[in-house]
């Protein structure tokens, strides 16, 4: 299993550092995503053939950020 990793994320002309913590659960690998100024959220592989948020109710996280984090997980998290 991959260790925690930090990725530089570029989205909407912004650059942020994300700390991503993988965790193996009964229903697959989940990734806790911690970005300063953004509420903590979790992602896992989805039927959309990419990583997608799994606890997004009430969170206002831009889709461009989610796609950038998905790309980072694919690049560094496997």
Expressed as residue numbers, the domain containing 46 is: 5-76
Burial category of 78 from C-beta neighbours within 10 Å (exposed 0-12, middle 13-18, buried 19 and up): exposed
Bridge partners of residue 64, in order along the sequence: none
Tokens 């992602």, residue located: 43
- pLDDT (tens place) for every residue of the chain, 78 residues total: 558 999 999 999 999 999 999 999 998 899 999 999 999 999 999 988 899 999 877 899 999 999 999 999 999 876
CA distances 66 to 1, 26, 54, 56, 71, Å, are: 22, 23, 11, 11, 9
Per the structure, how many domains does the chain have?
1
């Amino acid at each position: 299993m991959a260790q925690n990793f930090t990725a530089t994320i570029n989205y909407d002309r912004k650059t942020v550092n994300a700390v991503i913590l993988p965790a193996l659960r009964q229903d697959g690998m989940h990734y806790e995503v911690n970005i300063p100024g953004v509420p903590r959220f979790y992602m896992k592989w989805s039927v959309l053939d990419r990583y997608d948020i799994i606890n997004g109710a009430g969170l206002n996280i831009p889709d461009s950020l989610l796609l950038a984090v998905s790309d980072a997980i694919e690049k560094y998290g496997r």
